Structure 1
Amino acid sequence: MNQPWSGRKLHFVGIGGIGMSGLAKVARSLGAEVTGSDRAQGGHDARNVPAGATVVFSTAIGADNPERTTGAPELHRADLLAELTQLKPTIAVSGTHGKTTTTSMLVHAMPGESYLVGGEVRSTGTNADWHEDSAWLIVEADESDRSLLKLHPTIAVVTNAELDHHTTYASSRDVDDTFAQFLARARDAVVAPDLTRLRADAHVFGEYDGPLAVPGAHNRKNAAAALTAIEIAQGTAELARELLATFEGAGRRFEVVGTANGATVVDDYAHHPTEVRATIEAARSQHPPRVIALFQPHLFSRTQREARAFGEALAGADMAVLLDVYPARERQEDYPGVSGLLVAEHAYDARPGMPVIWAKTHATARAYLQRALQEGDLLLTMGAGDVNAIGRDLVAHSEPPGR
């Protein structure tokens, strides 16, 4: 079979990332020669880039990265994804919240289609796959750097629209304008009921009313968005409804990690106040005696702007444990006075008397939770950084209940 990318050499900087690894996998399936490097596995070095390779990078990889200073031709990851969306009719899912879960629902409910998702689809055990004979390509479209505007969707889905990435967007209107441009690129559009302003002829989804294994009202909306797109793509969603009843979720999206001292440990990528609130509400729907929220703020800029909103969202738990900010691409010295303590103080102000623990470090949080967790508790580890390591460590070193 003729592989359209045969003979192409692609070097992925940060190949261990969830988005980059998926692209690398699909590129290899299409016949490209793929290499890559990652900070967590050997680091970055100009010598890693093979002769004749095109360097693929994401917005998170700065121009001063040694693998971007070799003089090799470069390609942003979104440009590569855009190429893929021209190979097959594409369903592209974007939105401030829920895009990974909604995309994963589409993958689960449309078996056999090609896909790239920003998280592991639990039912397939991977984040990407390519089937030469598939009718559709299903992709997650990233709005954080406006790269969604490079894609070529046939069906575009926007789950919701809120100001989140403050270094990219100047205002909520700026966010709206970007999503409107994204929707305009598609033959058909699917939006939440309050987003018809973004495209007048868009199909509107409501709230799914069928059996669903993943908890929370937000997931019922995600399922409704997925089903609406499936109806447009396939003309019916009857089989999809049956399959959605068995959807177990995506990696780091209300993912049950295990038990620790009799408590259920659930990990979630929630890193915006709306997501934190929705995740706590989903935990409440399980009716545990206590919901304990371990939260790691992500980015100093987001923490500075949203500290109060994060505190108010965390007040929905029975106990909040706070870590310091996961800096990602930002530097502490550029944000004097901004730390996780701000969120802890706002959480206590929002609900005086609620236990709020400023743990700051992983070690302190782990030690505290090891003592505090009780039989029947539901522990949420939330954030886009490395907070999930604490939950997994607690599970791995748990003592049997009643010790």
Structure 2
Amino acid sequence: MDFSKIKKIYLVGVKGVGLTMLGQYLAAQGVEVSGSDGPEKYMTDEVLEKAGIKVIEKFDVKNLPADADLIIYSTAYSAATNVEVAAALAGKIKTLTYAQALGEVFNQKYGIAVVGSHGKTTTTAWLGYLMEMSGLAPNVMVGARVPQFDGCSLIGNSDYLVIEADEYQNKLENYQPKAVLLNNIDYDHPDFFPTEEDYKNAFIEFIKKISSKGFLVANFDDPIIRKIAQVNCKGKVITYAINEAADYVAYDIKNNNGRQYFKVKLGVEDEDENETRSYRFAGASLQDDRTDELGDFSITLGGRHNILNALAVIAAGVELNIELFKIRKYLEEFTGTARRMQVLGEFRGAAIIDDYAHHPTEIKATIEAVRQKYGNRKLIVAFHPHTFSRTKALFNDFAGSFAGVDELTIIDIYGSARERHGGVHSRDLVEKIKSNNQASGVKQEVKYISTLAECEKYLRGHAERDDVIVLMGAGDIFRVGENLVKE
């Protein structure tokens, strides 16, 4: 599709982060963009307003512009559930899903896709920031608001396009990447991928698309990626890990005053002691004899998972010929994205933090990072489980994810647009955690609260000075934090 000939686009479900970032990008190209969604307030509202995208807060067939060149819709909706999608698919105007439309844009560029179960948003934004500040003028699309981007997208004049690529509903089938950063593979989206093998295969098929001229940056701390990366990728495979055999190795990790400090060295696989590799640093070459050091790095983001994200960005930056001093400087300057351990402010002396964690692995990583930053201060977590299918499929993992939390509140499950109920309840999770704690002798206050309004009321009457309160989940629990910090 030739987007240069498209003048007017309409987006159904425009407040979703995917369509928001795509809409912001297209509007910056001079396309007239408008769309529709529900009346609820979203954190994307501000981004859409700044981008000049008109939003109609009601779904109605009459909203569809007769002179639109293209209609794009979120797959949160279908012809069966949304009147605008039904009319668009039955009409004469070309209509695409969000992933199909993003693929049309991505595949015409030097496309770099960041994929994996966790860390996509942070890694995409981090790499985009590094490339932008280093003068590469990239186009970047991130599934969250990035304060240093003033939105969800960066618009550049180069051929580079960096995207956060979601595996759900086989969206990866739409993209033909030149390069891929593969963070991790950790079973998720059980409503779409029936088995762990199905889920893993989505990533295998994706990295098979990389040509012999492309490259894959792969996390070798992940045992699944260790097995699949080199046997399935035709391009160059660049590996990274913490204290393990890989091309880029982080070690001597320290934490001080809210920062993480670490060293990076170039490594080789243990089985070939005589192997040498050449790494490019803006024209200079370092011969790897298993002792080469890249030196010291520091980052403002907490947690072991962000050391791994940083390594991915370092490795990709080197492959893109960015000078090492720039990589070091801009890696440290990056401040993160919205809803990823985002400090919203304080409520009566208690720190209020918003975090998007909605998978057991992400929950553990966030708790580790919070403890790293705030030490032994009283930690209160309000968790809003996201989707019934995920909660049911990973039930035991969720129940074991909250170690280190002093007080835990679990709210009714946030169902997606595709599911409103399904064989599990937040009360079940509360009882399982209590049972586990009793069996292991752990003292932890765990309670069920049905609604966000009740959660907010509870926290208002319960929070004390120096508490750390984390509002956790992929739904709209962030609203509780926003209300608290208004005082």
The TM-score with structure 2 as length reference comes to 0.77
Separation in 2, partners of 1:269, 1:189:
27
Separation in 1, partners of 2:354, 2:96:
33
Q: Which moved more, 1:148-157 or 1:29-38?
A: 29-38
User: How large is the Cα RMSD of the aligned pairs?
Assistant: 1.7
Q: Which moved more, 1:170-179 or 1:345-354?
A: 345-354
Alignment of 1:62-77 (within 5 A): 62-64=78-80, 65-70=82-87, 71=91, 72-77=93-98
- Is 1:58 the counterpart of 2:74? The answer is yes
Separation in 1, partners of 2:324, 2:171:
30
Question: Which residue in 2 is equivalent to 1:35?
Answer: 34
- Is 1:45 the counterpart of 2:60? The answer is yes
Question: Which residue in 2 is equivalent to 1:312?
Answer: 400
Alignment of 1:260-299 (within 5 A): 260-286=347-373, 287-299=375-387
Separation in 1, partners of 2:468, 2:364:
15
Q: Which moved more, 1:193-202 or 1:384-393?
A: 193-202
Q: 1:170/1:137 Cα in 2 relative to 1: closer, same or farther (>3 Å)? A: same
- Is 1:344 the counterpart of 2:371? The answer is no
3-state SS, counterpart of residue 120 of structure 1: strand
Where relative contact order (Cα < 8 A, 6+ residues apart) is larger, the structure is 1
3-state SS, counterpart of residue 146 of structure 1: helix
Separation in 1, partners of 2:481, 2:29:
37
3-state SS, counterpart of residue 169 of structure 2: coil
Separation in 2, partners of 1:143, 1:317:
31
Offset of 1:271 from its aligned partner?
0.4
Give the aligned residue type for 2:433: A
Separation in 1, partners of 2:25, 2:5:
12
Identical aligned pairs, as a percentage?
31
- Is 1:191 the counterpart of 2:218? The answer is yes
For 1:278-319, what per-residue CA distance to the aligned partner results, in whole angstroms no more than 9, with x for missing partners? 101111101141111110000011111222221211233111
Separation in 2, partners of 1:345, 1:277:
19
Q: 1:331/1:140 Cα in 2 relative to 1: closer, same or farther (>3 Å)? A: closer
3-state SS, counterpart of residue 127 of structure 1: strand
Give the aligned residue type for 1:51: A
Question: Which residue in 1 is equivalent to 2:285?
Answer: none
Give the aligned residue type for 1:273: P
3-state SS, counterpart of residue 316 of structure 1: coil
Q: 1:230/1:164 Cα in 2 relative to 1: closer, same or farther (>3 Å)? A: same
Q: 1:107/1:358 Cα in 2 relative to 1: closer, same or farther (>3 Å)? A: same
Q: 1:346/1:330 Cα in 2 relative to 1: closer, same or farther (>3 Å)? A: farther
Which structure dedicates a bigger proportion of its chain to strand? Answer: 2
3-state SS, counterpart of residue 60 of structure 1: coil
Offset of 1:21 from its aligned partner?
1.1
Indicate which of 354, 360, 363 corresponds to 2:450: 360
Indicate which of 78, 89, 97 corresponds to 2:118: 97
Question: Which residue in 1 is equivalent to 2:192?
Answer: 168
3-state SS, counterpart of residue 314 of structure 1: coil
For 1:355-389, what per-residue CA distance to the aligned partner results, in whole angstroms no more than 9, with x for missing partners? 01211111221111112211111111110111111
In the alignment, structure 2 segments of 5+ residues that lack a partner are 40-55, 231-235, 243-249, 251-261, 263-296
Offset of 1:9 from its aligned partner?
2.6
3-state SS, counterpart of residue 22 of structure 2: helix
Separation in 2, partners of 1:118, 1:355:
34
- Is 1:206 the counterpart of 2:292? The answer is no
Give the aligned residue type for 1:192: N
Indicate which of 146, 150, 157 corresponds to 1:125: 150
Separation in 2, partners of 1:364, 1:4:
48
3-state SS, counterpart of residue 50 of structure 1: coil
Give the aligned residue type for 1:355: E
Offset of 1:56 from its aligned partner?
0.4
For 1:187-215, what per-residue CA distance to the aligned partner results, in whole angstroms no more than 9, with x for missing partners? 21111103132221521122452211011
Give the aligned residue type for 2:20: S
Offset of 1:28 from its aligned partner?
2.1
Alignment of 1:139-178 (within 5 A): 139-178=163-202
- Is 1:246 the counterpart of 2:261? The answer is no
Give the aligned residue type for 1:340: S
- Is 1:375 the counterpart of 2:465? The answer is yes
Separation in 2, partners of 1:324, 1:104:
31
Separation in 2, partners of 1:125, 1:341:
39
Give the aligned residue type for 1:189: L
* Structure index of larger Rg: 2
Question: Which residue in 2 is equivalent to 1:324?
Answer: 412
Give the aligned residue type for 1:339: H
Whether the 8 Å CA contact 1:315–1:351 is kept in 2: the answer is no
3-state SS, counterpart of residue 4 of structure 2: coil
- Is 1:259 the counterpart of 2:346? The answer is yes
Give the aligned residue type for 2:117: T
Separation in 1, partners of 2:318, 2:188:
30
For 1:87-108, what per-residue CA distance to the aligned partner results, in whole angstroms no more than 9, with x for missing partners? 3212110100000011011112
Separation in 2, partners of 1:35, 1:229:
35
Give the aligned residue type for 1:396: K
Question: Which residue in 2 is equivalent to 1:400?
Answer: none
Whether the 8 Å CA contact 1:44–1:66 is kept in 2: the answer is yes
For 1:201-236, what per-residue CA distance to the aligned partner results, in whole angstroms no more than 9, with x for missing partners? 521122452211011111111111122112112254
Separation in 2, partners of 1:27, 1:10:
9
3-state SS, counterpart of residue 9 of structure 2: strand
Give the aligned residue type for 2:229: R
Whether the 8 Å CA contact 1:157–1:183 is kept in 2: the answer is no
Count, aligned residues = 392
Separation in 1, partners of 2:306, 2:432:
27
